[in-house]
Amino acid sequence: MLMVKDRRLQVLVEDEQYRALDAVAAERGVSVASIVREALGRYLQAGPEQTREAAERILSAAPMPVGEPEELRGELEQLRGRRG
């Protein structure tokens, strides 16, 4: 069911956050606003218990090997080059 959107919300985000939102939107072929509305909807649906359980799962996860910062930057630049 399509809900009528009759309220405007202006939010300032960091450049990195916007780039991430824009990338997800482009990948899905939708607007950034649509991604933000979806994320907001999911956040509001999650109750305190779900939020606590999700945090516990994240915090109890086994550590994963991560490369050195320069190595990670190189991987990120390579991925960005593929999109651009």
How far is 21 from 12, CA to CA, in rounded Å? 13
- Entry pTM: 0.53
Helical spans, DSSP H, in 2-65: 15-28, 32-45, 48-60
Residue 2, Cβ neighbours under 10 Å: how many?
A: 4
19 within a domain of the structure (yes/no): yes
Average pLDDT over residues 18-46: 92
4 inside domain: no
Between CA 29 and CA 47 the distance in angstroms is 29
Q: How many CB atoms lie within 10 A of CB 13?
A: 12
Mean pLDDT across 5-22: 91
Residue 17 lies inside a defined structural domain of this protein: yes
Q: What's the pLDDT score for residue 50?
A: 84
| Distance between CA atoms of residues 61 and 28, nearest Å | 29
Q: What is the mean pLDDT of residues 2-8?
A: 83
* pLDDT at res. 65: 84
Number of domains in the chain: 1
Domain that holds residue 52: 12-57
The answer to whether position 73 is within a domain reads no
Q: Is residue 48 part of a domain?
A: yes
What single-letter amino acid sits at 71?
Answer: E
Q: Is the pLDDT of residue 27 over 90?
A: yes
Q: Is residue 42 part of a domain?
A: yes
pLDDT of residue 42: 85
